[in-house]
Structure 1
């Protein structure tokens, strides 16, 4: 028994205990020890500094106080399960915590089971602040999402851009051919749009493009796809719609745009459209027919819809 051992052994053990405590206190990462009931039994200065509490404010309090209230029951259950288990170490976890001032931080934790002088198990938890890394990861993720979005969408209107739009058309053509469903497309552009840019400036022109596309999307079905090909030129893909019904749909679009005043300047805008129905053909031929029909609409006086002749 240690009680009958040489006094030097007691001194060595006491010195080891003090050294261990000093190491914990001097450690640059936050360390806490919680008792079997989940209350703080020891916290080092780094732990206190991280959370913004004094040692006195933490000792004797439930460790769950540093977690958002919605997660506290879960964290307490995990704490109890760990102490009741037989694993000496807890798997590394990434957690969200709150400082005394309410600031949200992100940490990585690791923990170990320790046996106290009373024979009961304690949990020693080590925390590392990864808040800045987490914020950087979120910014990088947002930037990547933004790049992906811009690769497929027009930045001004939020519509699919030309490349993504033509890919979507290829998909719809393949589906139409496979299931023998009708498919139509419409190409349209805004009449005399250059004059608007020249007279009122490109910022007003941009406002009109945004407002017109919003108006067009109000009229189209949810299954229709509106694409900005470039400038003031647009493409509409209409799955399961034949040319006659596509013409009627574009007439509704044309009429709605013509009857609407755009921007605070209350400017009148019209569009000319060409419609083409799909018969076994390539994307290029289908768009070419729609483009020629749109040109005919322009040549016929603008503000109208023309259906391409059968392919």
Structure 2
């Protein structure tokens, strides 16, 4: 566009219009970046974004000499819910569990959905014993969710912990593997209790 021959009012109007377009594009970019880091169903952090934050927390932990506890969470009987009540109900369970977990953890902690019915909580600056205490609050909120929301089935969660510390400087892969293994042991114990 040739600005040299425009009168001042037309020039200002043109600049204002371009500013509005730039602001709109900036908003769309922010929105795109937000959704690129979010899980489509729960709107929690997705695996990639969550693990990126975990990596940063481990660096901070190394510098400060603090601990981080990873909690691997799995919804018990999720396949049964999907198979018997439909995927719409399954998505509602994922959203409700995600919301309950998010509202139950501290603002400094990280929560991500890593796929399927699995979530990971990163309890920052926290040892396993303290994470266990924090979990009891989550358990209470899940029980409350069952009383207020579900009638045909109850939601229960299996979970397992793994700790990063200067004494045990595990990689992210090792932390997740150990927490997943611990969660699976708890799930087996839960299943055995349920069937007895």
Shorter-normalised TM range: 0.7 to 0.9
> How many aligned residue pairs are there?
184
Q: Which structure has more helix as a fraction of its residues?
A: 2
Please give the alpha-carbon distance, in whole angstroms, between the structure 2 residues aligned to 1:216 and 1:293.
Answer: 19
Q: Does 1:285 align with 2:174?
A: yes
Match of 1:218 in 2: 103
Q: Deviations over 1:241-294 (max 9, x none)?
A: 101111121232123213423886545211000011112121111111101000
Q: Contact 1:220 / 1:253 at 8 angstroms: preserved in 2?
A: yes
Q: Does 1:184 align with 2:69?
A: yes
Unpaired runs of at least 5, structure 2:
1-5
Q: Contact 1:207 / 1:263 at 8 angstroms: preserved in 2?
A: no
Q: Deviations over 1:107-129 (max 9, x none)?
A: 742xxxxxxxxxxxxxxxxx448
Unpaired runs of at least 5, structure 1:
1-28, 33-106, 110-126, 305-311
Ranked by relative contact order (alpha carbons within 8 Å, sequence separation 6 or more), the top structure is 2
Match of 1:276 in 2: 162
C-alpha displacement at 1:236, in angstroms? 0.5
Task: Mark the CA change 1:281 to 1:180 in structure 2 (over 3 Å): closer, same or farther.
Answer: same
Task: Mark the CA change 1:275 to 1:128 in structure 2 (over 3 Å): closer, same or farther.
Answer: closer
Q: Does 1:206 align with 2:91?
A: yes
Q: Deviations over 1:138-171 (max 9, x none)?
A: 5433332222112211122221110111111111
Q: Which structure has more strand as a fraction of its residues?
A: 1
Q: Does 1:242 align with 2:154?
A: no
Please give the alpha-carbon distance, in whole angstroms, between the structure 2 residues aligned to 1:243 and 1:129.
Answer: 57
Please tell me whether Structure 1 or Structure 2 has the larger radius of gyration of its CA atoms.
1
TM (norm. structure 1) is 0.53
Alignment root-mean-square deviation, CA = 2.7
Q: Contact 1:204 / 1:263 at 8 angstroms: preserved in 2?
A: no
